[in-house]
Amino acid sequence: MSISMTIAFACHLVGVLIGGAFGLVYLSRKRFMPYHAIALGKEWDAVSSAVQVLILVLMRATGGGLIAVAFLNLVLLLIPFRAGEVWAVWAIPLSNLMVSAGALYAMHIVSSNTPARPPKLFAIASILLTLTGLELSIL
């Protein structure tokens, strides 16, 4: 791989790992995140068991989706991207941008309508790394 493709690979890899790490956190939590408590204005124990189940299921679905996309992109990076397959140059950023932009949009809704401050920086970093990787890939 050329130097620009190697740097693009690294950018994509870090962006993918951010999403995967966030997914692991969401998948493994036994209660909602601290910013969820701020958004709801309630601590975990003050939320009804039905709402607890609903929140955990949504967190697990989100976490599983993030891990699935991260795994898929990791495979795409390691095999077709490194082999120079043009379609992989586009498929990796497309899927990562869709997930990261969706997460950023959801966090924006929470931060715009509640006093909570979700960790938008992770989604923004993933988006910037992905766009940088794409730009370097098509030079």
d(CA 99, CA 71): 13
Domain residue spans of the chain? 3-30+60-137
pLDDT for 139: 85
14: exposed, middle or buried (C-beta count within 10 Å: 0-12, 13-18, 19+)?
middle
pLDDT for 40: 95
Convert the pLDDT of each residue in 23-66 to its tens digit. 999 999 999 999 999 999 999 999 999 999 999 999 999 999 99
Q: How confident is the model at residue 121 (pLDDT cuts 50, 70, 90)?
A: very high
What does pLDDT average to over the chain? 96
d(CA 30, CA 40): 17
Q: Are 8 and 133 contacting, i.e. CB atoms less than 8 angstroms apart?
A: yes
Only one residue has tokens 């990787």, namely: 133
d(CA 138, CA 24): 31
The percentage of residues in the chain with a pLDDT greater than 90, rounded to a whole number, is: 99
pLDDT beyond 90 at 1: no
d(CA 28, CA 71): 17
Averaged over 64-86, what is the pLDDT? 97
Convert the pLDDT of each residue in 91-111 to its tens digit. 999 999 999 999 999 999 999
Q: How far is CA 40 from CA 16, 59, 60, in A?
A: 30, 15, 19
